[in-house]
DNA sequence: AATGAATGAGCTTTCATTCAT
DNA sequence: CATGAATGAAAGCTCATTCAT
């Protein structure tokens, strides 16, 4: 077979795709090398083991995500901030799916992995804090019900990444709809909702 | 090693636990046999391969789930029906998590597996239909917003199984809260929700 | 399953059949127990291991064979004796096929096996000697070409057991034909056989 | 263990040897890898399973055999042709022994295996036809007795591969002798063969 | 006697990883 | 850099054999 250049970004792309499709344990170098038309051993020139590749990918993806929140302070209202965060969740839904595999990464694989995962945890924490802070402020200004735990609001917003995309609606409209439904509920105000107890 | 009796219900239990913890590809007979203190080969006396065990477990679990909907017709209002379904989602959240791995089961493993998975798909379809029907009726009687696609409502209700349980609140209260938040939204009616565009 | 009596003769029969069909290494207790509708472990009540069963079967079969030669001394001419031996080869062709697996039997399996195999070798040797003796006498009386090694004649006679049975001819006729062809050749006397060099 | 190069021809050689010694079911990769001083897994780099290796070997061997019959049309008399075929049987006796295991190959193992076995059956059929045709022609020209079924003649010629080699005679002489004995019989013409009934 | 259930040994196969070129 | 080839560890699976009932 003719020699094939390995491009890291392609490697990352394929790795992410396989992770989503097959799960963490279902990820194998063979699947990657087959799709990139390179030899399995070539990947080892760049990453010394499976977990290093995945951890490195995660850090890379997390960077993409964090970049979204650079100018967040300048966004006007807290609810607009929340919306911004939600939009970025939806925009990078696939990335968040991948990051969900973080707990599976074997940190003992190497020091590099350990470091990557530490960074990742750090950033994940930052992100979480940012979201919770915004939610708390929303509550303070009276935009979000005080009787709903912030963690629940955060959960609902985050889990929206798993909602299947609509094929009839544009992505923007679909996201708006979901955000709105979470905010206002799918119930009809003053409707026949007797079961709410 | 002293001979150890293998109980199918324990086997099922451990299998489900490992599936949730490690994912489909991360499931191995060794993990099971270690936890049950039996020999790996003993499991093969009952299930001739991984997929047969998992498929069999899924059918078993699905039966449990379907039993929940026996008396559903007698529930009074559609919204109460919806609540009933939601409650059973939450009650069997762990089961639904396991059933999410159904697409990974290798149907070619054996005819038994093929049959099990067919049954499963059938029941899954029935369940889906039931839920959608209830939602549609809720819309008709004016309990659920007509502008929200039923599939989205279904998604939100179903994905609630992934929300981490609260440690401060009783399960019943927690479920009520979630159901209520989905219905009425976490936003404050007539609050400062300018970002809803 | 209802308890099933295990009859040794059935066990022998099935064992022989499987040996012929699958070869020595392809023989498994599971195949036997399935065909006899008994439990695998039941066989161990009679034979303490695989090789013991097979060795025992072989001794049993060899006895059947040897019985054929009881009255051989009273047969008139040496060629008639040869024919008698040949007929018994053909009659017990399937048995001889089974006995061909003798070299595969693992004598270390147990002392019983060792003894059985020793008996077997002894009888095999006796049989061989008997055949060779008859051939030698045939040569002496001028019935068999002196220029053909007795071992070759023996080989040809014995290997006839592998010739597929004819479906058009009765077994007796078929055997006569083969014996005759071995004796007189399939060539036409004084025919165009220039390649015989 | 130091790394050891695996040569396909050695692999084929050892595979054939083990097949003859242990039979089809008695063939294991471990036996092979032990004899070649390579790791068992190394063999899987070349053949993805037992049957693929064996099927591949058989195709390879069959090619060797078929090459023998390239110039057969130019051989003068039919009896010389027959002799040519017989000689090649004897020359490649060990190959024919191996090919006898073809019915045991598990075609379901993979598509490659299926294809190989189809090729093999095809060639086997060609070979069979060739032999039968020559025999029929021999009959027509009066070299072979018309009262002997061609299938029997073919059987006798083919089964000669199982006759143990003589240690006292050269291979050429031994083959000539066998061919001659089959043609003319081991009986003495006009001798005391009263048992021929 | 006959059986169901359990086990270990050993074979099959996959895959991360190493190494010489 | 990229590769082909080799390897060991571990998972998948089969089967002879044991044991309590």
The pLDDT, as a whole number, for residue C167 is 94
Identify the pLDDT of residue A193: 54
With bands split at pLDDT 50, 70 and 90, how would you rate the model's confidence at B193?
Answer: low
Q: What are the pLDDT digits (tens) for C174-184?
A: 999 999 999 99
Residue to mutate among C184, C195, C197, with most D CBs inside 10 A, is C195
Say if D170 is an interface residue toward chain C (CB within 8 Å): no
Q: From CA A120, how far away is CA A105, in angstroms rounded?
A: 11
Question: Considering the domain A56-184 in this protein, what is its CATH number?
Answer: 1.10.357.10
Report the C-alpha gap between C192 and C190 in whole angstroms. Answer: 7
Residue partners of C184: CB distance under 8 A and separation at least 6? D184, D185, D187, D189, D193, D196
| B96 contact A CB<8A | no
d(CA B147, CA A187): 11
Q: What is the mean pLDDT of residues B88-103?
A: 97
pLDDT higher at B123 or A3? B123
pLDDT at A196: 46
The C-alpha R_g of chain B, in whole angstroms, comes to 20
Res D196: pLDDT: 46
* Mean pLDDT along residues C140-157: 97
State the Cα–Cα distance between residues D124 and C152, nearest whole angstrom.
Answer: 28
Asked if the Cβ–Cβ distance from B193 to A143 is below 8 Å, we say: yes
Closest-CA distance of chain B to residue A3, Å: 32
The whole-number pLDDT of residue B192 equals 56
Q: Which CATH number fits domain C56-185: 3.40.50.2300, 1.10.10.10, 3.50.50.60, 1.10.357.10?
A: 1.10.357.10
| Separation between the CA of D44 and the C1’ of E14 (whole angstroms) | 10
- The pLDDT averaged over each successive group of 10 residues in chain A (197 residues) is 83 97 96 96 96 97 94 88 97 98 94 95 96 97 96 98 96 97 93 51
In this structure, is the CB of residue D1 within 7 Å of any atom belonging to strand F? yes
Q: C80-129: per-residue pLDDT in tens? A: 999 999 999 999 999 999 999 999 999 998 999 999 999 999 999 999 99
Choose the weakest-confidence range: A138-147, B146-155, C73-82, C123-132. Answer: C73-82
Hey, how many other C-beta atoms are within 10 angstroms of the C-beta on D18? 17
Q: What is the pLDDT of residue A190?
A: 74
Predicted pLDDT at D75: 80
Distance CA D16, CA D26 (A): 12
For A1-46, which CATH class? mainly alpha
**CB neighbours (10 Å) of residue C137?**
16
* pLDDT of C196: 46
Q: Taking 50 as the threshold, does the pLDDT of residue C194 lie above it?
A: no
d(CA B72, CA D17): 70
Other beta carbons less than 10 A from residue B149's beta carbon: 17
Taking the C-alpha atoms of residue C7 and residue C11, their distance in angstroms, rounded to an integer, is 6
Judged by average pLDDT, the poorest of D38-42, D147-151, D177-181, D186-190 is D186-190
Distance in angstroms: CA C33, C1' F20 = 21
* CATH C-level class of B50-185: mainly alpha
Domain boundaries, chain C: 1-46, 56-185
> Residue D191 has what pLDDT?
64
Please write down the long-range contacts of D163-169, taking CB distance under 8 Å and 24 or more positions apart: D163/C152, D163/C155, D163/C156, D163/C159, D164/C151, D164/C155, D166/C149, D166/C151, D166/C152
Average pLDDT, integer, range B140-162: 97
Scan for tokens 């399960």, then name that residue. Answer: B171
Average pLDDT, chain C: 94
Q: Are C192 and D79 in contact (CB under 8 A)?
A: yes
Q: Which of residues 30-49 of B touch strand F (CB under 7 A)?
A: 30, 40-41, 44, 48-49
Q: Which of C61, C4, C59, C60 is nearest to C32 (CA)?
A: C4
Q: Please, which pLDDT band fits residue C19 given cuts at 50, 70 and 90?
A: very high
Token duo for residue D5: 């190069």
* Residue–nucleotide distance: C6 CA to E1 C1' (Å): 9
**B128 part of contact set with chain A, CB < 8 Å:** no
pLDDT for A195: 47
- For chains B and A, having 3+ Cβ pairs within 8 Å is answered yes
Per CATH, the homologous superfamily of domain D52-185 is Tetracycline Repressor, domain 2 (1.10.357.10)
pLDDT score for C74: 87
Is A195:B82 a contact under the CB 8 Å cutoff?
yes
Q: Which chain D residues are Cβ-neighbours of C179 within 8 angstroms?
A: 195-196
Looking at residue C195, what is its pLDDT?
Answer: 47
Query: Residue range B158-167: average pLDDT?
Result: 96
A196 CB near a chain B CB, below 8 Å? Answer: yes
Contact predicate B175/B183, CB 8 Å: no
Residue A151: per-residue pLDDT: 97
Question: Residue A89 in contact with residue A158, Cβ under 8 Å?
Answer: yes
Using the predicted structure, report yes or no on whether residue B127 has a pLDDT greater than 70.
yes
pLDDT tens across A39-49, in order?
A: 999 999 999 99
Cα A130 from Cα A88, distance rounded (Å): 13
pLDDT computed for residue A191 by the predictor: 64
A163, A178 Cβ separation under 8 angstroms: yes
CA distance C138 to C86: 14
Answer yes or no: is pLDDT of C190 > 90. no
* pLDDT recorded at residue C1: 52
Separation CA D52–CA B19 (nearest Å): 34
Which has the closest alpha carbon to D144: D102, D99, D179, D111? D179
Residues D53-108: pLDDT tens digits?
999 999 999 999 999 998 888 888 999 999 999 999 999 999 999 999 999 999 99
């Amino acid at each position: 077979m003719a020699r094939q250049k390995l491009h890291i970004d392609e490697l990352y792309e394929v790795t992410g795709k396989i992770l989503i499709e097959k799960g963490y344990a279902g990820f194998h170098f063979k699947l990657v090398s087959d799709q990139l038309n390179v030899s399995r051993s070539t990947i080892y020139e760049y990453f010394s083991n499976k977990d290093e590749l995945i951890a490195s990918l995660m850090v890379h993806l997390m960077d993409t995500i964090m970049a979204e929140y650079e100018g967040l302070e300048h966004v006007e209202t807290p609810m607009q901030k929340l919306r911004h965060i939600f939009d970025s969740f939806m925009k990078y839904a696939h990335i968040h799916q991948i990051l969900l595999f973080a707990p599976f990464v074997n940190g003992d694989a190497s020091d590099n992995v350990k470091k990557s995962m530490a960074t990742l945890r750090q950033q994940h924490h930052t992100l979480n804090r940012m979201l919770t802070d915004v939610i708390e402020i929303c509550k303070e200004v009276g935009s979000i019900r005080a009787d709903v735990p912030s963690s629940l609001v955060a959960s609902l917003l985050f889990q929206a990444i798993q909602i299947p995309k609509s094929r009839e609606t544009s992505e923007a409209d679909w996201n708006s709809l979901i955000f709105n439904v979470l905010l206002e509920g799918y119930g009809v105000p003053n409707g026949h909702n007797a079961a709410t107890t």
